[in-house]
Amino acid sequence: MRDLIPFKALSSSLAPFVDPNFKLAVLAELIDTRVLDFGDFDSFLKFVEGPEYDYETDGYAPSAKAYDYLGHYPLSARHLRSVRFLELDGGLSIYDYVYPFWDGESGLFDVQSLDDLRHLPNLERLSVVSMLTSTDLKPLRTARKLEQISLGLIGTWENMDALLGLPRLKRLSLFKSNLRVRFRDPVMIALKEKGVKVGYFQ
């Protein structure tokens, strides 16, 4: 819990992020890679809610204080540069820090877009399993160091040509039903011609 700070030391905004749920995903990676240490979720919730907090009884509802704390936790340029992998998925451990018994059925933690990728200058791997409401891939153009991308079944992806502008892309995994023309998709053909290993799963 070495990185917990008083509420008065929190930022006044989400900066540099726009989407608080995208920031949660970033925090998940920083905690998982031990760049940040917030302790276990029970200790964290006692820190923000008070020592009387009992996740066994209180954990069936989200903690507004925890959500606010994480959203306004200040992240430095060093923190952002350290993020090499980002995953959007309902099983991220960060959600236990807000809502221990979240059932994954609500849109509480949904990420609205990938626009905030521009704040992760060294991102190399991106996995979108779920939790993303937008199917627009145009924001990927800002993630110039991406080498591996996995795109799950979110919907029909838009602006797939953004993948062609990623100079370091080596591997793309894609849910087959996302493709209108599947294997004949011109973007997939162009990626393969550039040497990108394209894999399909279902």
What is the tens place of the pLDDT at every residue in 40-76? 999 999 999 999 999 999 999 999 999 999 999 999 9
Identify whether the C-beta of residue 145 lies closer than 8 Å to the C-beta of residue 171: no
Domains of the chain: which residue ranges? 1-84+92-105
Q: Residue 196 has which token pair?
A: 């990108």
Q: Which of 78-87, 114-123, 145-154 has the lowest mean pLDDT?
A: 145-154
Confidence check: pLDDT of 183 > 70: no
**What's the whole-number mean pLDDT along residues 186-197?**
90
Confidence check: pLDDT of 186 > 90: no
Q: How confident is the model at residue 179 (pLDDT cuts 50, 70, 90)?
A: low
The residues, any chain, with a CB within 8 Å of residue 199's CB and separated by 6 or more, are 171, 172, 173, 174
> What average pLDDT is seen over the chain?
92
What is the tens place of the pLDDT at every residue in 85-127? 999 999 999 999 999 999 888 899 999 999 999 999 999 999 9
**pTM: predicted TM-score of the whole model, two decimal places:** 0.92
Q: How confident is the model at residue 4 (pLDDT cuts 50, 70, 90)?
A: very high
Confidence check: pLDDT of 79 > 70: yes
